Amino acid sequence: MPQSPSRKRGLGASLRLAHHLYGKLLQEQLRETGLSMAQYIHLRCLREEGKLKQSELSGLLGIEKASSTRVLDELEKRDLITRNRSQSDRRVVHVDLTDSGLRRIDGAMKSARLAADHASTGFEPDELGHLFAAMDKLLDNLASACCQSR
């Protein structure tokens, strides 16, 4: 039996390729929303998690605080988020969606759903379940390895 292209390519290369192709498809879907990928992931995280400390948001997204700050500056200028300093600890900044931001991310998530639907075309529901279970296991393995090396 011939080896599958992904097995031949290897795990890391296959994951990189899937990430690249999915990212391209998602960017195409997001183009009509006027959001960049970075803006989308910030707004989506706020939509899913609710109001967050700015440090929590960048941590959940796995990006540097400085990179997140630049994205949040733009989102705030566009009135899609608010940032407010904590009264009890002035170092803490809380980030939340505005009504306009909520409407924008809800529309963008509908557009993004088209990319997910396309990527999962031809999969049976149980195949997707197995894929997500395998992805969770992979992410746990990688997260524990990254934490051990620190």
User: What pLDDT is stored for residue 148 in this prediction?
Assistant: 62
Question: How sure is the predictor about 150, in pLDDT bands with cuts at 50, 70 and 90?
Answer: very low
Q: Is the predicted pLDDT of residue 18 greater than 70, yes or no? A: yes
| SS3 labels along 29-72 | HHHCCCCCHHHHHHHHHHHHHCCEEHHHHHHHHCCCHHHHHHHH
Tell me the per-residue pLDDT of 22-46, one tens digit each, with 9 for 90 and over.
999 999 999 999 999 999 999 999 9
Q: Is the predicted pLDDT of residue 131 greater than 50, yes or no? A: yes
Give the separation between CA 76 and CA 96, rounded to whole angstroms: 10
98: which DSSP letter?
A: -
Question: What's the mean per-residue pLDDT of the chain?
Answer: 92
Give the separation between CA 65 and CA 62, rounded to whole angstroms: 9
3-state secondary structure of 1: coil
User: What pLDDT is stored for residue 31 in this prediction?
Assistant: 92
